[in-house]
Amino acid sequence: FTTDEVRDQLDQAGLGHFTVTEIGDRYLEVCGQM
């Protein structure tokens, strides 16, 4: 996944306030409050 793809998924789920951070080449971190 790219960060943009993950953000789009979160937006569609109503979680657009979450932040997505790329860590290195293989990891994405998603931070937010449910």
Q: Can you give the residue range of the structural domain that contains 26?
A: 1-34
CA–CA distance, 10 with 16 (Å, rounded to integer): 5
Two tokens, residue 25:
């080449």
Instruction: Evaluate whether 30 touches 20 at the Cβ level (below 8 Å).
Output: yes
Is residue 20 a contact partner of residue 14, using CB atoms and an 8 Å limit? no
Count of the separate structural domains present in the chain? 1
pTM of the model: 0.66
Q: What is the per-residue pLDDT for 28?
A: 92
For the cut 80, the answer to whether the pLDDT of residue 34 exceeds it is: no
Cross-strand bridge partners of residue 10: none
Tens of pLDDT, residue by residue over 2-18, are 899 999 999 999 998 99
Given a cut of 80, is residue 21 above it in pLDDT? Answer: yes
Pick from 1, 32, 2: nearest CA to 17: 32
